[in-house]
Amino acid sequence: MGLRKSRVFFIEFGIGFGGSVVSLSELIKGFEKLDVVIPTVLTFQESHVIEGLFSDQVKLLNHNRLFSYRRKSDFSQWVDSKAFLSTFKSSLLKIYAFLDTVHDYYLSVLLAILFKSNKAEIVHLNNGYQKPAIRAARWLNLPCFVHMRGFPIHKEGEERRFASKFNSYVSGCIGISDAVSKATIEAGADPVKMVTIFNPLDIELYQSSMKMRSVIRDQYQLNDEQLVFGIFGRVTTWKGQLEFLQAVEKIIDRCPNMVAMIIGDSSDTGDTDYHEKVYQLVDKLSLKCRVILTGYQNQVYNYYAAVDVVLHNSTEPEPFGRVVIEGMAANNVIIAMDEGGPKEILSHEEDGILVEPRNTERLAEALEMVYKNPALREKLSAAALRKVSSEYPNDAIANKVYEFYERRGAW
């Protein structure tokens, strides 16, 4: 007897490209392999941002949010720029908050209509507790699952109120690492309804991209003797690109074939000042001939094939660290910070290198050690590929999510 096939309505509330929407697409690929879900996906992003992420089997809906964290920030900055308005800033922000609340209820009505018209049986929120969707699911008495892809954000003094007020309306909550699950429980989530399930990956995609190694390296005039250390992700303060360059600068003279590659741009973060600082540091340190800035790449998996070592250098604890498993799947050596999700993924000096966070000296030492030890690189990359192939395939992760639906009484 086959598994029960259910109509699941996924909602991606993010407004920019990132690991959240990529992980959702991988989860749905896993469900498609199992043939257990009829998926509908609602996003609040422009269609070109997610182009190619979902198959033709997925019913893809799009909606433009009138209010978002980015627009609130833009509005606040606009008020600050107008001297005659700055006196009324507090009142204007209160008006904005009121309109945002009204818009939340409008979204709830819209979502309830969409759930009904698409015959949804399960609502799956892809990135955290989103009031409009939880409210709409409650109106229709639909099981609602929350995917926590980041640490809970709450105001000081409201730790226990954040998630606890949603407990009776949420069927289950998925943390993408034990660190995220623990933080969500501390924010008031019901531990009985909480489970940790790591993010999924299409292993074959990253393995098949290896044929693009020479193509990408030729594009940047890289020869076979050069060892490329890549840092992937949005160029924003907490991703640590500046600290990476500072570490590279300490050892570059002792590592003649070392090349640093930064893959990404400031995209939706609005952190353009930080992006500019990265460019300025490259010029200041005279690293231009040894640093490659690729900008945003929509087929980023090809760039994992082009590099030899992947660095994950977040300056704050990372909820999961998707870059880590992507690099593992592409036969790279992984250097990551010894906290958050990466600490749960990697075993130090067995399938990766873990470094004391926010310590540029230790990071430089790790980079140099990996550069000068080809036997260690071979050992780590082989072990990393074995682990990721065993523990992170998208169908295996999708099966865990499906079983969680079942355990939590989705049907």
Give the pLDDT confidence of 15-71 residue by residue, as tens digits: 666 789 999 999 999 999 999 999 999 998 877 778 788 999 999 998 877 766 666
Return the domain boundaries, the chain: 6-200+393-407, 203-391
CA dist 49 and 15 (Å) reads 9
CATH architecture of the domain with range 203-391: 3-Layer(aba) Sandwich (3.40)
Percent of the chain with pLDDT over 90: 70
CA dist 301 and 209 (Å) reads 7
Radius of gyration of the chain (CA): 22
Q: Is residue 131's pLDDT more than 80?
A: yes
pLDDT of residue 156: 46
| Band of pLDDT at residue 2, cut at 50, 70 and 90 | low
Report yes or no: 178 and 196 within 8 Å, Cβ to Cβ: yes
Q: Where do the DSSP E strands lie in 110-185?
A: 122-125, 144-148, 172-175
Hey, what amino acid is at 411? W
- 334-385 confidence digits (pLDDT tens): 999 999 999 999 999 999 999 999 999 999 999 999 999 999 999 999 999 9
Percent of the chain with pLDDT over 70: 92
- 264-301 confidence digits (pLDDT tens): 887 655 567 888 888 888 887 677 789 999 998 888 99
CA dist 194 and 184 (Å) reads 9
Helix, strand, or coil (residue 87): coil
CA dist 177 and 93 (Å) reads 35
What long-range pairs does 272-279 form, CB within 8 A, spacing at least 24?
274/235, 274/236, 274/237, 274/242, 275/235, 275/236, 277/242, 278/235, 278/241, 278/242, 278/245
Q: Is residue 87's pLDDT more than 80?
A: no
Report yes or no: 64 and 49 within 8 Å, Cβ to Cβ: no
* Range with the poorest average pLDDT among 21-25, 89-93, 157-161: 157-161
Q: Tokens for 319?
A: 């909820």
> What does the mean pLDDT of the chain come to?
90
pLDDT of residue 353: 98
CA dist 374 and 351 (Å) reads 14
Query: What integer is the mean pLDDT of 214-231?
Result: 97
CATH number of 6-200+393-407: 3.40.50.2000
Nearest to 148 by CA among 177, 182, 187, 174: 174
> What crossing angle do the helices spanning 374-391 and 322-329 adopt, rounded to 10°?
110
- 267-276 confidence digits (pLDDT tens): 655 567 888 8
Nearest to 406 by CA among 47, 1, 41, 5: 5
> What crossing angle do the helices spanning 272-284 and 241-251 adopt, rounded to 10°?
10
CA dist 337 and 317 (Å) reads 8
For the chain, what percentages of helix, strand and coil (3-state, to nearest 5) are there? 50, 15, 30
CA dist 61 and 64 (Å) reads 10
Nearest to 179 by CA among 9, 314, 311, 380: 314
Domains 6-200+393-407 and 203-391 alike in fold: yes
